Structure 1
Amino acid sequence: MKILILSNYANGLWLFRKELLKSFLDAGHEVLISVPPDENCVKLREYCTRIIETPLSRHGSNPVQDYGLFKGYRKMIRREKPQVVLTYTIKPNIYGGLACKLTRTPYICNITGLGVAIENGGMMSKVLIGLYKTATSRANKVFFQNERNRKFMQDRGVARKNSGLLPGSGVNLNDHPFHEYPDEAEGIHFLAVIRVMKDKGIAEYLEAADRISGEYENVHFDLVGEFEEDERAVYEPQIKALEEKGRLSYHGHLDTVEPVMAKSHVIVHPSYHEGMSNVLLEAAACGRPLLCSNIHGCIEALDPGKSGFTFDAKSADSLVSSIKKMLSLTEDERRHMGRCARDYIEKYFDRQIVIDAYKKELKKISS
C-alpha cells in the first residue's frame, strides 16, 4: 500500500511513532510523510520513503492559512493517490480529514488530545468540534487515547460509530528499559518533563518546588522542557529566581530525557489535560514512581497507590500534599513503587499494541 501520513511535528513522529513507521516499511508499504520543515525532519529519513515538507502553523488560527492547508492537503492527495492516509493532531485531523473525505480516500485519524482550544470551551471550541464532526464522519477509524476524550467528543456527535481506543502511543520497552532506583544518600530528586506553559501545570510545579525545598533540605527539583514562546516572559523570571535560590535545576529542552529520568527518584506531571501522557508512560517504563494530575490521560498510566499517587489539577496545595505523601514513604517503598510502575506498563502499554491496531485497520482497508 501507499500510505500518506499527515502530522504537525516531525519530532513527535520520530519520538512516538517511528516503530509504527518502520513496521510499515518492513511490510513493504510505501510511506510518505507530510510535516512542516524543521531540523527534526532528518530524523525521519530512515523511517519513510519520502518526506513532503508542508508549511503548517501549529498554534495559529488564521482561517486563510488553514484554508490554504486544506487545499494543500487535497492537492497532495490527488497527486500522490495514497491507498490510505493517517492523520495526527488537530489541524491534520481536521483539514487532512476533510481533504480525504472530499477525495474519497480511506483515512484513519488519531486524536492524541483535545487541546486547549477545545478544552477551554467557548465559541472556538464549538467551531472546532463542528469541524471535527464533519472531518471524521467518513473516517475508517478515529482513534482516541483515553476514554474521557472519546466520550467528550462522542457526546458532541464526533466519531459515534467509528471510534477506537489506543493506549496512548505506547512505549518501546527496549528503547525505554528499566533502570534500578537510584540511591537516596544525596537526596531525593523530583523531575517534571513538561513544556513550560500554563496548561502543563508549570505554575503549580514551581510553587511546589519553592515550598517543599524551603521545608526539606534533602529534596531537589528538576525541570526539563522548552518554553512555549508566548508564555516565556511569565515563567522564565520565576525559573531563574528559583535556580538562584538553589530550589530548582532547569535543564532546558533535551532530545533524550532518559539519562535525567534515570537519575531521578520521582516523576511529577501536573498537566491540566492530556490525550495520553508519553512522559508518564516512559517514566513508568524507566521504573520510577509517579505523581500526576487526577485527569484522564494521566491516571491511565498509574496503578493507583501501587505505582504512584494523584493530585488535583491546577492546585499547588494538592501537589504539595502528594509530594509530602511520597516523602513519607521509606526508600524501599519508593523503590518497590517504581518496580510496580514498570510491571504495569509492560502489561498494558507495550507499543506493539498500537502497531497491531493499525495493522488491523490497514488489513480491513486493503481487503
Structure 2
Amino acid sequence: MVFCIISSYLPSVLNFRGKLLEAIHAQGFEIHILSPDLEQFAAEHKQLENFGYYVHAIPMQRTGTNPIADLKTLWAMRAIITKIKPDYVLAYTIKPVIYGTLAAWLAKVPQRFALITGLGYAFQNVEAEGGRSIFQKLVHGLYRQALVRSSKAFFQNPDDLALFKQLNLITQATPAVVVNGSGVNVSDFNVVPLPLDNTHQIRISFLLIARLLGDKGVREFAAAAAIIKQSNPEVEFNLVGWIDENPAAISQHELDHWVADKTINYWGKLSDVRPAIAESSIYVLPSYREGTPRTVLEAMAMGRAIITTDAPGCRETVVDGENGYLVPVKSVESLVEAMRKFIDDPELAEKMGQRSREIALTKYDVHEVNKHMMTEMGLI
C-alpha cells in the first residue's frame, strides 16, 4: 500500500507531519512526499530519504497566483501521482490542497484527503466585512472544486469548518472532521523551570514565535512591549521568526526600529525553539486566526502560561484564567492588561504554566491526534 503526502514547504513535513508519517510507515505503507524547492532543503530531503521515504520535486510557487505556473504545478503532480499509484493522498496548506487534490482526482487515487491547517490571507476579513475580493472569490472557488473531490476534509478547529460551510466551500457530500491541531510530541518538550532574576525571583519575559506577518499580531506585540517598557524597563520581550514572502509581512525597517529602540530582543529564525521557550516565562501569540498554533502547544508542553487571542484556532488552546488569558484580536490595550497581570503577580506564570502542561498532555498529545486522523482515513 502506498501513502502520498503533498506539502508546499519540505521542512514542515518533518516538523508538523513527521510523527504522522512515522506511524503510517509503521503500518507497512510505502511513503511518498511531493514538495517544491528540494535543493533549498538538502538536509531535510536527506533525512526523509534516510527514513525510507521517497521524495519527489514539484514545481510550485508558494505565493502568487500565476495561472500558468499553477497549471504547471497541477499537471506535474498528476504525472508523479499517476506514476507512483498511491492508494491514499493527503494534502495540506492552500496550494497542495487545491491542486494536489485535483491532481489526485485526475490520477484516480481512491482515497483523497485534505487537511486545512489555517486559512491565511485568502480569508482575511471575510467574516468581519462580509464581502470578498476577486482574488478571494477565485481562491474560494478553487477550494470548493477541490473539496468536492475529496474523500474527507480535516480541520484543525471548529471555526474554520463553520466558515467553510458558511461560504459553501464544503458541502454535505464531503465528510468533515475536526482534529486537535497537529499535536505536540510532549516527550520532546519537557517542562523546564521558569527563568529567574538575580534575586532568584521569577523573571518576567514574554516570547512570540511566528513568521513575521501582520496577521500573526507581531505589531501588537511590539506596541504592547513599547508601552510596558515605559514603566517596567526590566521586562523582556523576545521575538523568534523571519520575514516571509507574503503580502502581510512586516517590513525590515519596522523590525530594525524595534530592535534599535530595545523594545524587542530579536533572536531570528531558530531550528530548535526550546531554548527560547526555556528563557521566557510567558508565551504570547496575538494572531488574528490560526488552524491550531503549534508554537502555543510547544510552549504549553514546556509549562508556560499563554496569552493569545479569542480568535479561531487560538481560543481552543486557552481556558481563560486557568492556563492563560484570551484577549480580543488587534487590541493592544487588552494585551498590555493581560501582560501586567503576570508582572504584578509573577507566581501566576508558574501556576498557569502547570495547567498548560496538563492540557497539552490530555488534549494535544501528537500520538492521540495522529491516531484519530489515521482512524478517520481508514489506515488502522
User: What range describes the TM-score normalised by the shorter chain of this pair?
Assistant: over 0.9
Check whether the contact 1:18–1:47 (CA below 8 A) recurs between aligned residues.
Answer: no
Counterpart in 1 of 2:123? 118
For the residue of structure 1 that corresponds to 2:75, the secondary structure is helix
- Mapping 1:55-94, distance limit 5 Å: 55-94=59-98
Check whether the contact 2:116–2:154 (CA below 8 A) recurs between aligned residues.
Answer: yes
* Distance of 2:119 and 2:329 partners within structure 1: 17
* Distance of 2:248 and 2:107 partners within structure 1: 41
For the residue of structure 2 that corresponds to 1:276, the secondary structure is coil
* Distance of 1:271 and 1:21 partners within structure 2: 28
For residues 221-257 of structure 1, the C-alpha deviation after alignment (integer angstroms, 9 at most, x for no partner) is 1000011245799532333233233322100000111
- Alpha-carbon distance, 1:113 to partner: 0.8
RMSD of aligned alpha carbons: 1.9
* Distance of 1:230 and 1:280 partners within structure 2: 22
Check whether the contact 1:196–1:202 (CA below 8 A) recurs between aligned residues.
Answer: yes
Counterpart in 2 of 1:34? 34
- Alpha-carbon distance, 1:187 to partner: 3.4
For the residue of structure 1 that corresponds to 2:119, the secondary structure is coil
Check whether the contact 2:194–2:202 (CA below 8 A) recurs between aligned residues.
Answer: no
Counterpart in 2 of 1:46? 50
Check whether the contact 2:59–2:72 (CA below 8 A) recurs between aligned residues.
Answer: no
- Alpha-carbon distance, 1:103 to partner: 2.8
Counterpart in 2 of 1:312? 328
* Distance of 2:191 and 2:378 partners within structure 1: 34
* Distance of 1:150 and 1:78 partners within structure 2: 30
Deviates more, 1:235-244 or 1:16-25: 235-244
* Distance of 1:217 and 1:336 partners within structure 2: 24
Counterpart in 2 of 1:182? 195
Pairing partner for 1:223 from 239, 249, 252: 239
Counterpart in 2 of 1:8? 8
TM-score of the superposed pair, with normalisation by structure 2: 0.91
* Distance of 2:249 and 2:33 partners within structure 1: 35
The letter of the residue matching 1:68 is K
Structure 2: segments with no counterpart, 5+ residues:
126-131
* Distance of 2:239 and 2:276 partners within structure 1: 10
For residues 115-136 of structure 1, the C-alpha deviation after alignment (integer angstroms, 9 at most, x for no partner) is 2112343222222221111111
Deviates more, 1:97-106 or 1:301-310: 97-106
- Alpha-carbon distance, 1:174 to partner: 0.8
- Alpha-carbon distance, 1:259 to partner: 0.7
In structure 2, the CA distance between the partners of 1:294 and 1:147, relative to structure 1 (3 Å rule), is same
* Distance of 1:229 and 1:104 partners within structure 2: 34
The letter of the residue matching 1:11 is P
Counterpart in 2 of 1:354? 369
1:199 lines up with 2:210 in the alignment:
no
* Distance of 2:328 and 2:288 partners within structure 1: 9
- Alpha-carbon distance, 1:209 to partner: 1.2
Counterpart in 2 of 1:24? 24
Counterpart in 1 of 2:186? 173
* Distance of 1:66 and 1:25 partners within structure 2: 30
* Distance of 1:241 and 1:138 partners within structure 2: 48
1:141 lines up with 2:146 in the alignment:
no
Check whether the contact 2:222–2:263 (CA below 8 A) recurs between aligned residues.
Answer: no
Deviates more, 1:201-210 or 1:219-228: 201-210
* Distance of 1:54 and 1:297 partners within structure 2: 30
Check whether the contact 1:113–1:274 (CA below 8 A) recurs between aligned residues.
Answer: yes
* Distance of 1:104 and 1:84 partners within structure 2: 10
For residues 70-124 of structure 1, the C-alpha deviation after alignment (integer angstroms, 9 at most, x for no partner) is 1111111111111111101110100111122223312111010112112343222
In structure 2, the CA distance between the partners of 1:108 and 1:231, relative to structure 1 (3 Å rule), is closer
For the residue of structure 2 that corresponds to 1:164, the secondary structure is strand
* Distance of 1:69 and 1:27 partners within structure 2: 30
* Distance of 2:146 and 2:254 partners within structure 1: 41
* Distance of 1:262 and 1:180 partners within structure 2: 7
* Distance of 2:84 and 2:142 partners within structure 1: 25
Deviates more, 1:85-94 or 1:354-363: 354-363
Counterpart in 1 of 2:128? none
Check whether the contact 2:6–2:35 (CA below 8 A) recurs between aligned residues.
Answer: yes
Check whether the contact 1:136–1:158 (CA below 8 A) recurs between aligned residues.
Answer: yes
For the residue of structure 1 that corresponds to 2:150, the secondary structure is coil
Check whether the contact 2:78–2:103 (CA below 8 A) recurs between aligned residues.
Answer: yes
* Distance of 2:145 and 2:254 partners within structure 1: 43
